[in-house]
Structure 1
Amino acid sequence: MTGVIATSAGVELVIHEPFGTTPASWLILIVGGPILFVLGRMGSEYVLLRQLSRSRLGWLALLVVLTPALSALAPIFVSIVTMGVLVGITLTDMWRNRRDAAR
């Protein structure tokens, strides 16, 4: 729930001021919200299915490593990079599900 709220707050900030500098507090919402959401989902899957996705952890680690450099970008570009990581998570999940279904 916290991830969804933080993500929506970050999106709201980007909508109102897409260009300019990205303060650290904005960066926390824009990047941190999706990270919290994915971690929450991973936690649920672990509790329910006893599965832990290493590919998701890898994508999240990439986003965490990139975060300091993202502070130099405008909020819209921070959002785009974050979205790219979420697309990467989605694509690797789809690939893994197809691979597992074929077995």
Structure 2
Amino acid sequence: MPTVVNDVKSFAAERAWGARDIAEIEGATVRLHWTNEPYRWHINDGPEVFVVLDGAVRMHYREGGQENDVLLRAGEIFVADVGDEHIAHPVGEARILVIEKKGSV
């Protein structure tokens, strides 16, 4: 049966980065996250697709030993490949769709 997620803008979790599982596709998870706090610096063991659905997120990433950042607004996407060190800092509350290898950090 198809699934409709129509409460994205009102979705909230009990803690920062709490999530609702939306789907699993061939070893990858699709999760809706809510947060109002930064995550932590990390490197995924597979690609990660990060879609801002509501709010804004300043994504910091390291490239060639230098820290960079980009402000992502609703409808914008950040893709981290294997080995890309990054951290997400929401600007207030944000709701993010994350697609990544199941069990990734």
Q: Same fold by TM-score, threshold 0.5 exceeded?
A: no
TM-score normalised by structure 2 residue count: 0.24
- Greater share of residues in helix: 1
TM-score normalised by structure 1 residue count: 0.25
Which has the higher Rg, Structure 1 or Structure 2? Answer: 1
- Greater share of residues in strand: 2
